[in-house]
Chain A
Amino acid sequence: MQNGARPQHPDPEGSAAAGVDASAEPDARSPAESDPDWSDWLDGRPRRLKRGKDYSGDPKPLVKRAREAAEGLGKLAVASRESQGSYEYVWIQFVDGEVGLGRPCPVCGGTTLAKVQKHFLRCSRCASTLKAAGDWDVEAGVYAPPPRSPEPMALLDGAEDGRSGEEFAEILGARVLSSDARPIGGPLVGQDFVLHFAVRFLRPVDLALPRVRLSVDGAGPLLRVQPPHPIEPSARETLDARVGIPGNLLMPRTYSVEVVLLMVPDRARPLDYLRVTAADVLDFRVRKVAGQTLLQTTEGSSPFAWSLEARGDAPA
């Protein structure tokens, strides 16, 4: 807890003045079976809970609930078990995040981190307290980013679910463009067109994979399109994504566009991916030209042409 200022949180002494005894164990007022008010723990201060008083039996369920609560509050719970003879305690603390070796601050993307303790760092830019992912021993030094995974696509290829990632990115909107980049209401059958959508990254993530789904009249997805490789945004940026869609692929119907963005914030935890969904972000109609024959796409190579272009820092 040394070296630099902490993030500004409500002052426990101030809350004491408001009628909350912050000097006591946080849930001393709670019966053993009920959880403390986890939002009080956002101050990042460590608490020690006593078995029989603050929890019963195995502390693992309590720690699990604390971790879930911390995750819901955008924090990370760290825990340590302590035995003193027949007395058992568990220490729990909410920190701001977890950082892998050579990775920037997951909160602000800052690349200067100060060692606080063997397994803790503090971001010099935003003062977030970070746990060393995997308990790597923090040592001073200059770290180049880890080599990119040769198959990052494998991380996200089968991903469908994932927890909400609205804090990490937002989908700004979508529109239909003609093949020469003019906004159009909808293409004619047989007319190649481009679906353009924009994504703004609010926090750095290691990997991101945008997907576009087209559906008709509320039925299941008729078409799912994704780029051949995920992108690796390293800073706050806005991404313009364009996917060229062959005009002969769609029947003359009204299509609803859903954009899904899957993200892996930290490669060290590849299974912990996030999802942002913008359902019905756009409706467009494919109009038929009289006497036109519809063609089928060939199997094999993708008929979709993707273009992903970052346009710098996102506005604050």
Chain B
Amino acid sequence: MAGHPIRRALEPPARSVEAGDRRLAGIDPATVVRVTDTPPGVWTLVRETWRERRLAPRLGTRVLLKLVWGTKLGAWWLVLRPTMDTLGKALIFGALLGVAAPGGVPYFVYLLAGLIGWRLFDRIVLYATRSFDLYRKVMTQIDFPLLLAPLSSAAFPLVEVSVYVGVLLVAVLFFLTVHGELYLALGFESLAILGGLAILVAAGCGIGLWTSVLHGKARDTRLVMRYVLEFWLYLTPVVYPLTAIPPEYRMLANANPLTAPIEMVKLGLLGTGEVTLYPALWSAAFAVTAVTSGLWFFSREARRSVDIHGPGADEDEDEERDEL
């Protein structure tokens, strides 16, 4: 127990005793204080978080500013990262490995459509995983719903994906000028993008709820998740079309719950995705399960996870040691 020296001298530490402990003999039972640690229910967690939803954007900007602070190019990195990511993959898979996009769509545009869906999921999981690190100081010094931490960290992925969308629009305009053909799907099928993104956001948040708590308990989680997500990226038809997978393995590909939403995004943007009912339902069920189980796990374990990290667990805290 920390405290001022005067306080320590005046106040010997309280004694933690068990009920029935003989050390309780002679102590007035009315003066014994019981501290309970009952996890809040999921509904309580959600209700309290909704009540403080106004804090989410304020917390979310932290991730954004952390990315660009201290860099020479500053906010340009918000544009450069998606652009370089897409260019690099387009060079390797499109130019070197010769992966072709279906329907005559330029591979760069096709890749961008896939990455819009994938990066939304990927970034939500990664930043949610790190969220206890990012907000730990505030989380322990101010009483606000812990669920806001992983959910607020989804703000940055939304910004980054909007940059991907911007790059896609520029690329589409470029190819419209060069090829004279508009590669965007502007029809009823465009609605598929909403379903695809909703599933990806839900799945990302659900997994992020698990990994944010696990990361608090074991910081290896973040490193493991990087590799898991990288591996998952190549299992999912993002850089290649679903049709490139041999038919005998197509069922396995559809067992991947991210296949259908990624295809839905491609279908909605370019009209080239292959979306069938059962894989889509399976993906939606996966997302719902991820969210509900994530909320359950978070409500049970988040507080303990925050407790585990000692001061200095996050390098970002060093600059904020100044006590008020």
Closest to A100 in B: B11
Is A174 part of the contact surface with B, judged by Cβ < 8 Å? Answer: no
CA distance A24 to B55 in the complex (A): 10
Distance in Å: Cβ of B40 to nearest Cβ of chain A? 3
- Cβ-neighbour of A143 out of B15, B44, B48, B68 (below 8 A): B15
**Out of B1, B28, B37, which one reaches A140, CB within 8 Å?**
B37
Stretch of B58-66, B185-193, B196-204, B283-291 at the chain-chain interface: B58-66
- Rounded to whole Å, the gap between the CB of A169 and the closest CB of chain B is 19
**Extra 20 A-B pairs, beta carbons < 8 Å, given A2-B303, A101-B13, A136-B2:** A1-B51, A2-B40, A3-B40, A60-B324, A63-B324, A82-B137, A84-B61, A84-B69, A85-B70, A101-B1, A111-B31, A112-B33, A115-B35, A115-B37, A133-B3, A141-B34, A144-B23, A145-B31, A146-B13, A234-B28
Residues of B within 8 A of A235 (CB): 30
Q: Is the CB of B33 within 8 A of A104?
A: yes
Q: Does B320 contact A (CB under 8 A)?
A: yes
B181 adjacent to chain A (CB < 8 Å): no
Is A79 touching B141 in the complex (CB atoms < 8 A)? yes
Instruction: Give the 10 A-B residue pairs with the shortest CB-CB distance, closest first.
Output: A102-B14, A85-B69, A2-B40, A140-B37, A80-B141, A134-B3, A84-B65, A101-B14, A115-B37, A79-B324
Tell me if B24 and A270 are in contact (CB < 8 A).
Answer: no
Would you give the shortest CB distance from A313 to chain B, in whole angstroms? 12
Contact assessment for B138 and A91 in the assembled complex, using a CB-CB cutoff below 8 Å: yes
A120 touching B143, Cβ below 8 Å:
yes
| B33 and A80 within 8 A (CB) | no
> Which residues of chain B from 1 to 50 have a CB within 8 Å of any chain A CB?
1-4, 6-7, 10-19, 21, 23-24, 27-28, 30-40, 44-45, 48
**Within 8 Å of chain B (Cβ to Cβ): is A42?**
no
25 residue pairs from A and B, CB less than 8 Å apart: A23-B54, A46-B144, A48-B55, A59-B324, A78-B143, A81-B324, A82-B137, A84-B62, A91-B138, A100-B14, A102-B33, A103-B33, A111-B31, A111-B32, A115-B36, A117-B146, A118-B303, A124-B36, A134-B7, A142-B16, A142-B33, A143-B14, A143-B16, A144-B14, A144-B23
Task: Judge if A95 is at the interface, Cβ distance under 8 Å.
Answer: yes
Residue of B nearest to A79 (CB): B324
Return the chain A residue nearest B69 by Cβ. Answer: A85
CA distance A81 to B32 in the complex (A): 35
Considering residues A1, A82, A103, A124, which has the most beta carbons from chain B within 10 angstroms of its beta carbon? A1
- CB of A157, distance to nearest CB on chain B (Å): 14
Answer whether residue B85 sits at the interface, using C-beta atoms and an 8 A cutoff: no
Q: Does A298 contact B (CB under 8 A)?
A: no
Interface presence of A86 (CB below 8 A): yes
Whether A134 lies near B65 (C-beta < 8 A) is no
